[in-house]
Amino acid sequence: MASIILGYDIGVMSGASLYIKKDLKITDVQLEILVGIMNLYSLIGAFAAARTSDWIGRRITVVFAAAIFFAGALLMGFAVNYAMLMAGRFVAGVGVGYAVMIAPVYTAEISPASARGFLTSFPDFFINFGILLGYVSNYAFAGLPLRLGWRVMLGIGAAPSMLLALMVFVMPESPRWLVKNGRLADARAVLEKTSATPEEAAERLADIKAAAGIPKDLDGDVVEVPEGRKSKETQVWKELILSPTPAMRRILLSALGIHFFQQASGSDCVVLYSPRVFKSAGITDDNKLLGATCAVGVTKTLFILVAAFLLDRVGRRPLLQCSAGGMMVSLVGLGTGLTVVGHHPDAKIPWAVALCIASTLAFVAFFSIGLGPITGVYPSEIFPLRVRALGFAVGVACNRLTSGVISMTFLSLSKAITIGGSFFLYSGIAAIGCVFFFAYLPETRGRTLEEMGKLFGMADTGMTEAEGTRGQEKVVQNPNGCKLDGNQETAATVSLS
């Protein structure tokens, strides 16, 4: 539900923007700021959600996301001018930041390793479903009077927020958050409901206790978490951002890289400006424009289902590389078609129009089978428990910041280097992303969250800040009996994995 809310706002704005520009008489610059600024506002929500979710729990944080977005949707629906509409976008943006951060983290923490990829891809599936609902809303309310149509499109987004706030209260709390706060009995109860056998639940609890720094022999309904292991804010920031170990730095760069390439390859531009792209390709009728946009939404939603079933079978890295490579080829095709149409403004070139439509659908299909869902899955898996909320929030901040810059500069960039040239630029970024995924990201399929630190080179995923001080020399024994220093161990562990 949180993801539907986010997706709906993205999708509905693509069509509503056509009518907002006509009704409020705003410029292209004002329009691209309106469309993209919410991504920057969501930075506030993402970092606030990290703090809130560590403080009061993952579950109740979702309620905050719903309440904030409800208020934002009503503000946008009743906006009487551009300033009020921007105020509504600000409030909704904070709600989006909450939702996009907490939904994947909660899902990853409550899921068993065998199905985590499948379950953690659900947020992206429902983002795409929300985008599709936004497109359908554009199509359904396009016939209303100009002053009313776009307001209904935006205001009706408040409905899912009310459902979300009610549904949250039947959800269990994250067992990892419960353990981190010493509530072992509550965590055990949740794990028994989300594990195949009592033995699996006990094993998962033992792993989570170790990651949280709770001694193995310390048991009871509620226990005192060792003071040195508590994730205090200053310690978490120091460990993740200010003085990370080489392994933690690689985890952080992996998360930032996947978030950056998802947005820098122009995915939001294809979604937000798809009516304008199709118009540039030669489709001028409003109903046909919105119909073609709905086809984009259907394609995204169908292919995200395919990805959900492949994530735990094929793995994250192969899907990412296939996705980025396919996006690169699709963007080249889209850029070619738009460039040909742009060079012949007075003539209709059917093959170029068809190439633009086919390339757009191929782009969203490749995006939805890899970069779309895995951007939610991979970063939610790889951070150690003590820094997971902040780490994922930093990744979301990178995602939203990149998205905001890309979406707020697309129209200006298109005027400077043509719309076809813009997509050629994005194809080059997708190619770089493909190389990054191949060279830098290890495979995480089938591993528990507590094993991720070792995959990235950490000897002890539950180590204290003192043990993880950068530059500290540690000696480990590899399977061949050779002793390695810390940097060599990182490389050797990744290579063996």
pLDDT per position as a tens digit, 162-221 = 888 888 888 888 888 888 888 888 888 999 888 888 888 888 888 888 777 787 777 777
pLDDT at 93: 87
Q: How far apart are CA 388 and CA 159, in angstroms?
A: 31
If residue 276 lies in a helix (H) or strand (E), which one and from where to where? helix 274-280
Which amino acid would we find at residue 457? Answer: G
CA separation for the pair 173, 61 (Å, rounded): 11
Identify the pLDDT of residue 233: 59
52 membership: H or E segment, kind and range: helix 28-56
H/E stretch holding 63: helix 58-77
For 398-418, how does the pLDDT look when each residue is reduced to its tens digit (9 = 90+)? 888 888 888 788 888 888 898
Tell me if 323 sits within 8 A of 147, measured CB to CB. no
Strand, helix or coil for residue 485: coil
Instruction: Give backbone dihedrals phi and psi of 383, rounded to 5 degrees, phi first.
Output: -80, 140
Whole-number pLDDT of residue 31: 84
Q: Which residues contact 156 (CB under 8 A, 6 or more apart)?
A: 73, 77, 137
- 465's CB contacts (< 8 A; 6+ apart) are 228, 235, 238, 239
Partnered with residue 483 across adjacent β-strands are: 477
Is residue 31 within 8 A of residue 17, CB to CB? The reply is yes
The reported pLDDT for the residue numbered 332 is 94
Alpha carbon 442 to its chain centroid, in Å, reads 19
Position 486 scores a pLDDT of 39
Structure tokens at 213: 């720094």
Q: Cα separation of 494 and 195, whole Å?
A: 29
Identify how many contiguous H helices and E strands the chain contains and give both numbers: 23, 2
Q: Collect the ranges in the chain with pLDDT lower than 70.
A: 225-234, 272-276, 280-287, 289-290, 450, 459-497
